[in-house]
Structure 1
Amino acid sequence: MLAKPAMAAIWVNQYTGEVMGKYDRPAVFKVASAAHRRLFGKSKAEGAFGAITGKLAIGITTIALLMIIISGLIVWRPSKGHVRNKFKISITKGTYKFLYDFHCVGGAVSALIITVCILTGLNWSFGWYRKLLYSTFGTEVAETTSHKTPAENFPAWDYAYSKLSSEYPDKEIRMYQNEADIVVGGCGNQQATDTYKINPANGEVSSVTTYEDKAESNHIKGWIYSLHVGSWLGWLTKIIYLVCVLIGAVLPITGYYLWIKRLILKKCHSA
């Protein structure tokens, strides 16, 4: 991985120095990430501490979205004996009726997933919320370990990787200077890893810390990420999350349409 730009990497033959390949994140994902996380502010990797104002704006609007979802569910809640009707979308009674039904049903169906994304996403917007979230589970905020020192002794690194990959051929292995992480997350926490301490001089494994033996805060950190991005059941939950967030993206449009339409109708009736 390169220090700059963010998420960029090159593959180098550690014996000859030949560049074997390179990767740079597509521009569309860079823009989407900057908008989603920092409202187009720069990241630490790009030479900035972070767009504090952007993160604050994202956090405030996220809380506002949560309030809208809660109030929307209260307004939508079905009365006794009319539950089935609340989940019907009419396609034969005009545009207004269709969009009204879609807004109500779509909002109700996607509310749970969007709420999960909100409650986990606020973890990255506010320090006080992050502390509150972790303390709710009886632990402290997990230490950040995303910037581990890359491997430098390449023969030792190569030996350690070859040994681990032969033992775990189907697992993702992340190599660092003094340790290696083997991703063991199946269904559930996709960030779960066993950590192997490695002697940087010869590549021998000196100790192993399994995921179960790691601090509870490490478990919570992985679960927060997995729940936020919808990876906890693999592609199944990713597809469900995608559908729900697409519906969520349409809801403001339908909401404004219904509101403006009502204003027009109200004005016509009062004329």
Structure 2
Amino acid sequence: MTKKKKKYTFRTFINDVHLWLGVASGIILFLVCLSGTILTFEKEIKSFFKEDFIVTAQTELLTIEELRDKLEKEGEVTRVLIPTTHTTPYQFTVKTSPKQRRGTTYYVNQYTGDYTADTKTAIDDFFMTMFKLHRWLLLDIPIGRPIVGIATIIFIILSISGIVLWFPKKLKWKSFKPGFKIKFSANWKRINHDLHNTLGFYTCIFLLIMSLTGLCWSFEGYRNIASDVLGAKVFGNRGGGTKLTSNLKPHESPVSIATILDTVNKEFPHQGKIYLSFPPNETGVYSVRKYNEEGLSPVISDQLKLDLNAKVRSKEIFAEKPLNEKITALIKPLHMGDIFGLFSKTIYFIACLIATSLPVTGVIIWINKLKKKKKRKPKQ
């Protein structure tokens, strides 16, 4: 008797899509997820290996103007980070050459004016390599970026199809139970299957968030569509927002930076570090971001633009923004996992680590199935 052919069901189709897309993109997804895992705690690892710039609190602070004047021999001073603690140095950003886009960080003792540049180390080089691997696979940007983007789209399809396959054929609690746990007492093939199936289920929501936000860096078209759907520009503040010019009248003199900071603290009375960007020219204005250290998220800031006479030109309180603008402003921290500080970073690290393992466990499942089919094949 000839065996009846099994029907090609929707579930079989989803299984085939999941299998072949996973096999085709496995190496790329492994490298992207591995580098993403390493980058999760980049700041913490870098700070651990850096030499401490020790500041001893004294009775009198030097003014920001005095500190800036000392640094101007190094290049164009563009901004300063003012911490909340007295023993943490100020951090000035200095463009040491016109070619520099972001500038060099200088740690400055706010009491003595002593400073040191944040020099690059082997750790910095390592993380830059991981960044390039994560974003462009160490290839030229025009080649590597779309490859990573396409792999990310595949990862989204794999995540969704994986959830569909996680659901058992019979929707009964008895059938659901095995999908929630890893049976470590079973043989290695079953453990490998559970590692893929169960861990993939638990991390799916985080992997989808990472993937959907990650595409904003890969494709301009996707970014524009996301902006249209959300009704707010994704990465809209990359250029610093609206460029304002000073309304200072000819008979008026610019106020001191101390007065500017007083205005900032009156507008935003909460405790938190302050990023103060200096006017780019004589007709520019101050741009300020202040973080609330007691807030829910350490990456959320309220923003001000202040004229040279300390008058408020624009004010943005994050809590008062519409939901769509909040979402677009949080695309980067949502992707990187630092939206809730160490707590969310730890979750993202575990999720990324699991994501790195999924191509490996998936390929092992596929190889085991191929071996099983060969054994079943009747000899001629």
Same fold flag (TM > 0.5): yes
What's 1:221 paired with?
Answer: 328
Identity of aligned residues (%): 24
RMSD of aligned alpha carbons? 3.4
1:161–1:36 Cα change, 3 Å = farther
Larger RCO, structure (CA 8 Å, separation 6 or more): 2
Between the aligned partners of 1:216 and 1:88, the Cα distance in structure 2 is 36
Q: How far 1:11 moved relative to its partner?
A: 3.5
- Matched residue, 1:10: 106
- Say yes or no: does 1:59 pair with 2:149: yes
Aligned pairs for 1:114-129 within 5 A: 114-129=207-222
Aligned residues: 255
Evaluate the alpha carbon distance shift between residue 23 and residue 7 of structure 1 in structure 2; reply closer, same or farther with a 3 A threshold: farther
Aligned residue identity for 2:151: T
The amino acid of 1:70's aligned partner reads I
Which of the residues 80, 90, 93 maps onto 2:171? 80
TM-score by length of 2: 0.58
| Greater Cα radius of gyration, structure 1 or 2 | 2
- Of 35, 44, 47, which residue of structure 1 is paired with 2:133? 35
From the superposition, tell whether residues 253 and 8 of structure 1 become closer, same or farther in structure 2 (CA, over 3 Å): farther
Distance 1:180 1:59, change over 3 A: same
The normalised TM-score by structure 1 is 0.78
CA distance in 2, matches of 1:30, 1:165: 36
> Unpaired runs of 5+ in structure 1?
43-50, 150-154
Give, in angstroms, the shift of residue 128 of structure 1. Answer: 1.1
Give 1:179's aligned residue: 287
For structure 2, list consecutive stretches of 5 or more residues without a partner in the other structure.
1-92, 244-254, 279-285
Distance 1:239-1:141 versus aligned 2 partners, 3 A rule: closer
Q: Are 2:364 and 1:257 aligned?
A: yes
Q: Among 71, 74, 80, which residue is 2:161 paired with?
A: 71
Q: Say if 2:273 and 2:290, in contact at 8 Å, map to a contact too.
A: yes
In structure 1, the partner of 2:353 is 246
Three-state SS of the structure 1 residue aligned to 2:118 is: strand
Residues of 2 paired with 1:12 and 1:189: CA distance? 23
1:194 aligned partner: 303
Displacement after TM superposition at 1:247 (Å):
0.5
Q: Does 1:107 align with 2:207?
A: no
* Deviation string, structure 1 residues 174-232 (Cα, Å, up to 9, x no partner): 11112221124833583432224241xx7x35445022566877533322122212233
* Residue pair 1:180, 1:195 contacting (<8 A) in 2 also: yes
Q: Which amino acid letter does the alignment assign opposite residue 29 of structure 1?
A: F
